[in-house]
Amino acid sequence: MLPFTIEKAASIQGAIAAASSGRRFIAGGTTLIDLMREEVERPEHLVDINTLPLSDIRIEGSDLVIGALARMADVAAHPDVQRLHPLVAESLIEGASPQLRNMASIGGNLLQRARCPYFRMLDASCNKRSPGSGCAAIDGLNAGHAIFGTSNHCVATHPSDIAVVLVALEATMQVRGPRGERSFPVEELFRLPGDTPHLEHTLLPGELILTVRVPGSPYSRRARYLKVRDRASYEFALVSAAAALDVGGGVIRQARLAVGGVGTRPWRLGAVEKALIGKTPDRKVFETAARLAIEGARPLSGNHYKLELLPRTIVRALEMTGEAA
């Protein structure tokens, strides 16, 4: 690990000012410190934001509001989250080991960097780590890589589980920076790689995530998160699905569906949602709609299996929503 300095932020404005001058925020550090040890990330100055008043977890009306510094474990265990937004709790529990959940913050989880092995190998080509160097994964070992949103410069998947859920539930986030505060959908946080895969999010220089707001909805409780992976714990998704249905009068009135492990960012499946609305919630309907999920997919040499695994995962996640109800 290369030498660095660290200072504690005394206020939100102080943290923003420090970041505006080139310093990096650190909260749980569960991703950043690992990358610093491996010299993938080499920040010279860090700003510790853990003492800032951004750890609240509360219900406002029917909405769930989560402070950016709230720990994953605290959010997952919160009784109001479990009661009103079980999909959020389920994805957090599936997202990491207990030790990591105790440390990792919600904001940090959303901003975690790619888990592509070539990103962490300093002797491998990686446009995320070294723009213009190439992408070793395209012709290399790519079984865990993306089939949506890829480019000739990057095929890495976004690793966050909670991000998939927040995109499915149309959550928004509030940020503050040198130009003031703004709010936008969580889905708009994530960039497609295009020809600039090193630019992963849309935050402006110095901006700090304050809160994430998950709207209350008729489908919040009839929702499930299914994560398919190589082993039962401490592993990233090969394919995951966050499914939520509002069912009334025997038909699906609203549907929300996003998937992970297959896209360069959390991937919303609008065509599948549209195909479900007005239909009876049964396996045949789910299977017909799920076939639409692979439209536009661009599989690599090692991940063609995701073309079959993705629809099956969606069908099972939709079936599980009935069990949740």
Average pLDDT on 72-82 reads: 96
Domains, the chain: 5-50 (3.30.43), 223-324 (3.30.390.50)
Residue 280 pLDDT > 80, yes or no? yes
Q: pLDDT (tens digit, 9 = 90+) per residue, 260-278? A: 999 999 999 999 999 999 9
Which residues are paired to 8 by β-bridges? 48
Whole-number average pLDDT of the chain: 95
Helices (H), the chain: 12-20, 32-37, 72-77, 79-84, 86-95, 98-103, 106-110, 161-168, 270-276, 283-290, 306-324
Please give the distance of CA 138 from its chain centroid, rounded to a whole number.
22
pLDDT tens for 124-151 read: 999 999 999 999 999 999 999 999 999 9
**Alpha-carbon torsion 292, 298, 169, 308, what sign?**
positive
Residue 260's pLDDT is 97
pLDDT in tens, 234-260: 789 999 999 999 999 999 999 999 999
Q: State pTM to two decimals.
A: 0.96
